[in-house]
Amino acid sequence: MSKDNKSKETKKDTHEHESWYKWGVLVLYLEMATAILVTLYSFYMAFTGSGGFPGKH
Amino acid sequence: MNNKVGQLLIATLGFFWCFLLWFSTAAFSPSIALKFNLTTEQLGILASSAIWMAPIGRIVAGWASDRFGAPKTFAVILIGTGLVSIHSAFVEDYSILFIERVIVAAAGVSFVVGIQHVAQWFEEYEMGTAEGLYAGTGNVGAGVGALMLPRIYGTNYSDAFLHLGIIALIIGGFYLWKGIPAKTLQRAAVARKSATFRDTVFVWTRWTAIALMLAYAMSFGLEIAMNAWLPGYYAEGFKEAISKLGFAGAEQIQIAAGTFAAVQSFNASLFRPFAGYMSDLWQRKGWTPFPYIAKNLSYAPRIHWLMMALLLITVMMVLLTLAGLFGLLHLSVVVLAVFGICVSFGTGGTFAIVPLIFKNRPGIATGFIGGVSTVGGIVYPLIFGFSKNIHMGYAYVALFIFVPIILFYIWSMRYEIHPEEHGLGSKEYWLGGKA
């Protein structure tokens, strides 16, 4: 980030998030973790010649 | 359900089910092909028909959500496609079944309705995460359909179409009952008054709207193009390498190739909420690293985040070509997984901006950007397919389509004040004194 941007404090968002937001962030992290696990599992199955994406064995 | 989280849940549920309906035909295409003795060409037409309704349908649905409110529009889509899905369960003639499944596939246009609905309820500082959760979680409906429907119903597509249709009717009724168009009556009224022909032309002719439409074509348009293209690409371009992994015969190679394609799609969907969250984060931190692009707009960091996504997508396309040219299957699929994540940055980043630039016309803008961009799903595979070397298509698209789009994006996002007012014809010309 440029020095110019870092100095522009007025542009930063200072809103306080409501309680739903932390639950929303938790859900999106769970979705990401699911994507990573399915990706790793699928690649393992494919690269060992054992099968494919869940459901396509 | 009278709060914004309740409305987000209703929209996400409706969208999830619409995506199930949208891709339910594809999930049973082998069974349909077997029953009606379809040729490979007929099967190809059936597969491609899923996106025929998207460009025009999304434009109309976006306008309707501004004019009549998202709940009524969403209910019409769910109930209409649900009824046709139920009827298609009893059809014995393939021509009628084909037409009815094209109509059912129109459920996919609901994406823009939910985007408008969520935009009418959430505030600027949380828009990225809210829209990301809606779109990303709803998108999973497509993957769930592909994985679960054949397992639950086997080859009995008729029962699946019947049950999907009945549940669509129930969700449609619930949406109509509990859905509220906007957080305030005033917000809903502003959108309703803006749903005119002149407002539509105004939005369509703004440089920012065109740039965001192209950015979405670079991300979502590319995502649906890759869904169709990748299984064939890996089966053809890495045939020997896949055989060496232990997959013998065309069917086995197809499983491996389909796996790589599915991972891309899966990542593009499930990382989308994170992309929206990142847009919120950049906004919160005030990050605006790129030169020339506006830095002082209230949502400038979000524009810079999308710029980052567009650059990453372009780099990944070039890397896919390089991995292919060197015959490196492992590298290619790892790049593909990252590519899916970068695509989600583009899709999530785009719709964290659209409702903010076009506050008074969220449906019209979303319909244009989400609708026209799907044409990418048709154009890119043609370029990939016509490239003499099967691996070069990604680089051609990156250099000759994506680089010019990025340059246009930078140019159109340079305005520090009211960027939405710049375009073909002035705001006064199209709208007179209207805000």
Residue B331 has, within 13 A of its CA and on its CB side, a CA count of 13
- A12·B123 Cβ contact <8 A: no
- A28·B263 Cβ contact <8 A: no
- A32·B271 Cβ contact <8 A: yes
* Chain A residue at shortest CA distance from B277: A25
Q: How many cross-chain Cβ pairs, A to B, lie less than 8 Å apart?
A: 121
Question: pLDDT value at position A3?
Answer: 43
Residue B287 burial (CB count, 10 A): 21
Both structure tokens of A24: 């929303």
Query: What is the pTM for the complete model shown?
Result: 0.90
Report the C-alpha gap between B300 and B322 in whole angstroms: 34
A24 contacts in chain B (CB < 8 Å): 129-130, 133, 273
Can you tell me whether residue B206 is helix, strand or coil? strand
Residue B298 distance to chain A (closest CA, Å)? 7
Residue A29 distance to chain B (closest CA, Å)? 7
The amino acid that residue B256 corresponds to is: A
Residue A41 distance to chain B (closest CA, Å)? 10
A1 contacts in chain B (CB < 8 Å): 287-289
Quick one: angle between helices B403-412 and B207-216, nearest 10?
150
* Chain A residue at shortest CA distance from B263: A39
Nearest CB among A13, A31, A35 relative to B137 is that of: A31
- B270·A43 Cβ contact <8 A: no
Task: Write the pLDDT tens digit of every residue in B82-104.
Answer: 999 999 999 999 999 999 999 99
Report the C-alpha gap between B305 and B283 in whole angstroms: 9
Residue B290 burial (CB count, 10 A): 17
* Chain B residue at shortest CA distance from A7: B286
- If phi over 0 gives left and psi between -120 and 50 gives alpha, with beta otherwise, what is residue B179? beta
CA–chain centroid gap for B187, Å, is 26
| Residues B61 and B367 sit within 8 Å (Cβ to Cβ) | yes
What are the φ and ψ backbone dihedral angles of B311, each rounded to 5 degrees? Answer: -65, -45
- A24·B258 Cβ contact <8 A: no
Question: pLDDT value at position B426?
Answer: 87
Question: pLDDT value at position B40?
Answer: 77
What are the φ and ψ backbone dihedral angles of B206, each rounded to 5 degrees? Answer: -80, 135
Question: pLDDT value at position A1?
Answer: 42
Question: pLDDT value at position A2?
Answer: 44
- A13·B150 Cβ contact <8 A: no
Residue A12 distance to chain B (closest CA, Å)? 5
Any idea which of A21-25, A44-48, B126-130, B135-139 has the lowest mean pLDDT? A44-48
Quote ipTM for the complex.
Answer: 0.83
A49 contacts in chain B (CB < 8 Å): 245-247
Question: pLDDT value at position B86?
Answer: 97
Residue A23 distance to chain B (closest CA, Å)? 11
Task: Write the pLDDT tens digit of every residue in B14-61.
Answer: 999 998 998 888 888 888 888 999 887 887 788 778 888 888 999 999
In sequence order, the 6+-apart residues with CB closer than 8 A to the CB of B45 are none
Beta bridge partners of B206: B423
Per-residue pLDDT of chain B (435 residues; tens, 9 = 90+): 559 999 999 999 999 999 899 888 888 888 888 899 988 788 778 877 888 888 899 999 999 999 999 999 999 999 999 999 999 999 999 999 999 999 999 999 999 999 999 999 999 999 999 999 999 888 888 777 777 888 888 889 999 999 999 999 999 999 999 999 999 999 999 999 999 999 999 999 999 999 999 999 999 999 988 987 888 898 889 989 988 888 887 778 878 888 888 888 889 999 999 999 999 999 999 999 999 999 999 999 999 999 999 999 999 999 999 999 999 999 999 999 999 999 999 999 999 999 999 999 999 999 999 999 998 888 898 899 888 999 999 999 999 999 999 999 999 999 999 998 899 988 888 888 776
A37 touches chain B (CB under 8 A): no
A28 touches chain B (CB under 8 A): yes
- B146·A55 Cβ contact <8 A: yes
Q: Which of B60, B379, B59, B345 is nearest to B215 (CA)?
A: B345
In sequence order, the 6+-apart residues with CB closer than 8 A to the CB of B387 are B393, B396
- B267·A8 Cβ contact <8 A: no
Question: pLDDT value at position A38?
Answer: 87
Q: Which of B383, B14, B365 is nearest to B206 (CA)?
A: B365
DSSP B260-279: HHHHHHHHHHHTHHHHHHHH
Residue A14 distance to chain B (closest CA, Å)? 7
Mutation pick from A4, A9, A20 vs chain B, by most beta carbons of B within 10 Å, is A20
Q: Provide the chain A residues 5-24 that lie in CB contact (below 8 A) with chain B.
A: 5, 8-9, 11-13, 15, 17-18, 20-21, 24
Q: Which residues of B245-268 are buried (b: 16+ CB within 10 A; e: fewer)?
A: bebeeeebbbbbbbbbbbbbbbbb
Question: pLDDT value at position A6?
Answer: 42
Q: Which residues of B30-49 are buried (b: 16+ CB within 10 A; e: fewer)?
A: ebbeeebebeeeeeeebeeb
Mutation pick from B266, B272, B347, B356 vs chain A, by most beta carbons of A within 10 Å, is B266
Report the C-alpha gap between B223 and B237 in whole angstroms: 19
Report the C-alpha gap between B414 and B208 in whole angstroms: 10
Q: Which of B323, B269, B22, B61 is nearest to B149 (CA)?
A: B22
Nearest CB among A12, A20, A39 relative to B337 is that of: A39
- B286·A8 Cβ contact <8 A: yes
- A13·B284 Cβ contact <8 A: yes
What are the φ and ψ backbone dihedral angles of B388, each rounded to 5 degrees? Answer: -60, -45
Residue A15 burial (CB count, 10 A): 13
